[in-house]
Amino acid sequence: MKNHRKILIIGGSALALAVGGAGVAMATGAGDDGNGQPITGSALEKASSVALNETGGGKVSATEIRDEEGYYEVEVTKPDGSQVDVHLNKDFSVIDSSADGHGGDEGAGG
């Protein structure tokens, strides 16, 4: 009986790991192009920090992995209500930042 219980526990653990791994892969965009997926975890913290530094402050209002214009996109709403899209590469370096919907380069501090 103990061996049967051990097999069930091991099998259940393996299944839980497989299902959990699939969930993580889906959440991080692995296996697809990632478009439309929000940035999560430590990548969100790093991307947010870089974007807020680029815009001179504000609040992160949206994020996206593998945007058309960069690996990460962070939308920042500034205190005056304007929005800036900051595009980053995989290394979290700023590619560009522009007023949301206008396409012009805002640069640091907006």
CATH number reported for the structural domain that contains residue 46 in this entry: 3.30.505.20
Q: Is residue 11 domain-shared with residue 55, that is, in the same domain?
A: no
Residue 24 shares a structural domain with residue 60: no
Same domain, residue pair 25 and 50: no
| Mean pLDDT over the full length of the chain | 75
Q: pLDDT band for position 2 (50/70/90)?
A: low
- Identify whether residues 50 and 9 lie together within a single domain: no
Higher local confidence (pLDDT), 101 or 71:
71
- Looking only at the bridges linking them, the beta strands covering 83-88 and 70-77 are antiparallel
Same domain, 64 and 94: yes
Q: How confident is the model at residue 9 (pLDDT cuts 50, 70, 90)?
A: low
Residues 59 and 26 in one domain: no
Q: State the pLDDT at residue 30.
A: 43
Are 22 and 56 in a shared domain? no
Distances (CA, A) of 96 to 12, 22, 40: 47, 33, 21
Confidence of residue 55 (pLDDT cuts 50, 70, 90): very high
Reported confidence tier of residue 82, pLDDT bands at 50, 70, 90: very high
Partner residues linked to 73 by β-bridges:
64, 87
Question: What pLDDT shows up at residue 58?
Answer: 97
Question: Looking at the structure, do residues 22 and 53 belong to the same domain, yes or no?
Answer: no
Residue type, 27: A
CA distance 20 to 55: 36
Say if CB 88 and CB 51 are below 8 A apart: yes
26 and 46 in a common domain: no
Same domain, 26 and 44: no
> If you average pLDDT over residues 63-67, what whole number do you get?
91
The predicted model scores a pTM of 0.60
- Residue 105, classed as helix, strand or coil, is strand
pLDDT of residue 26: 42
Number of domains in the chain: 2
| Phi/psi of residue 48, nearest 5 degrees | -65, -45
Question: What is the structure's pLDDT at 36?
Answer: 79
Given a contact cutoff of 8 angstroms between Cβ atoms, the answer to whether 93 and 58 are in contact is no
95: containing domain? 38-110
Residues 62 and 96 in one domain: yes
